[in-house]
């Protein structure tokens, strides 16, 4: 089987059967790549009043990730910014915020041994459970850790963004529609709002740099049948047209 037909097969697969370690090709040279995203919040763990050194804080956390969690995270995938109004904060308020991305998840797949008698769907479910267990473990081990920067101590809290926790999102959908459905039939959210994405991603390169309704429709058809597609707002931004 050729690589092109393999990619086509992946595109035809139901989204619910796609393991969390596999990239989804959605057409027009675009793909959705798996990754773990965590939101970090840093607090002072002592009465020190020294300025927050974002660079040292990032290096200290990167070192912890490598030594304690065996995660080699590129520098660009750990973003830390100090609070802009530090002089106004209360004692128990955070001094800095951060975002951590873990994009290399292939090790989860390599740890999953294939049993000849096991169906492929079972392997995908095993990978999904392995990813969720690993994600929970990472959050638990990072939550509440203390970083010591030349005698200045910081405590860190960790959370998964609501938009990245599909299990909780799905549960909230079920509760919402269970209480708002007169028919009692199972329902799910039917609208996706996309923001902050360059419009050129949805353009026909040889025709225009503006978003094409045809290309946009083709791309999002990968996720299921589309009943309506509203025009996209095109505006100039710092990263080009969005």
Provide the domain limits for residue 76: 36-166
Say whether pLDDT at 239 is over 50. no
Q: Does residue 108 sit within a domain?
A: yes
pTM: 0.73
Confirm if 227 and 217 have CB atoms less than 8 A apart: no
User: pLDDT digit string (tens) for 11-69?
Assistant: 455 666 677 788 888 877 788 888 899 999 999 888 776 778 899 999 999 999 999 99
Q: What is the CATH number of the domain that holds 151?
A: 3.30.70
Say whether pLDDT at 2 is over 50. no
% residues pLDDT > 70 (the chain): 77
Q: Does residue 138 sit within a domain?
A: yes
Alpha carbons 118 and 200: distance in angstroms, whole number: 43
- Contacts of residues 211-215 at CB distance under 8 Å and 24 or more positions apart, as own/partner, are 215/28
Q: Which of 10-24, 99-113, 225-239 has the highest mean pLDDT?
A: 99-113
Please name which of 106, 128, 109 lies closest in space to residue 33, comparing C-alpha atoms.
Answer: 106
Please name which of 46, 41, 50, 5 lies closest in space to residue 25, comparing C-alpha atoms.
Answer: 5
Q: Does residue 182 sit within a domain?
A: no
Q: Does residue 184 sit within a domain?
A: no
Q: Does residue 27 sit within a domain?
A: no
User: pLDDT digit string (tens) for 119-154?
Assistant: 555 677 888 889 889 999 999 999 989 988 888 889
- What's the confidence (pLDDT) of residue 139? 94
The structural domain count of the chain equals 1
Q: Does residue 210 sit within a domain?
A: no
Q: Does residue 72 sit within a domain?
A: yes
**Within 10 A of 65 (CB to CB), how many other CB atoms are there?**
19
- What's the confidence (pLDDT) of residue 122? 62
**Within 10 A of 105 (CB to CB), how many other CB atoms are there?**
20
Q: Does residue 230 sit within a domain?
A: no
Q: Give one DSSP letter per residue of 158-174, joined into a string.
A: EE--GGG-HHHHHHHHH
């Amino acid at each position: 089987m050729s690589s092109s037909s393999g990619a086509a097969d992946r595109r035809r697969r139901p989204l619910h059967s796609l393991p969390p370690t596999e990239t989804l090709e959605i057409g027009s040279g675009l793909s959705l790549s798996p990754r773990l995203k965590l939101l970090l919040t840093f607090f002072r763990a002592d009465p020190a009043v020294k300025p927050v050194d974002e660079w040292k804080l990032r290096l200290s956390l990167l070192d912890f990730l490598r030594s304690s969690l065996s995660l080699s995270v590129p520098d660009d995938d750990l973003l830390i910014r100090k609070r802009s109004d530090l002089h106004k904060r209360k004692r128990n308020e955070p001094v800095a915020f951060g975002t951590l991305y873990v994009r290399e998840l292939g090790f989860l797949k390599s740890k999953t041994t294939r049993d000849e008698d096991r169906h492929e769907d079972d392997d995908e479910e095993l990978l999904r459970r392995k990813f969720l267990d690993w994600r929970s473990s990472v959050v638990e081990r990072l939550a509440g850790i203390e970083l010591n920067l030349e005698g200045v101590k910081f405590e860190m809290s960790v959370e998964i963004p609501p938009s990245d926790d599909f299990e909780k999102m799905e549960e909230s959908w079920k509760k919402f529609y269970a209480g708002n459905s007169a028919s009692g039939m199972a329902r799910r959210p039917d609208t996706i709002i996309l923001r902050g994405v360059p419009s050129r991603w949805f353009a026909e390169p040889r025709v225009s740099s503006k978003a094409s309704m045809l290309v946009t429709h083709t791309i999002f058809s990968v996720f299921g049948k589309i009943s309506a597609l509203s025009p996209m707002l095109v505006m100039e931004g710092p990263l080009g047209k969005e």
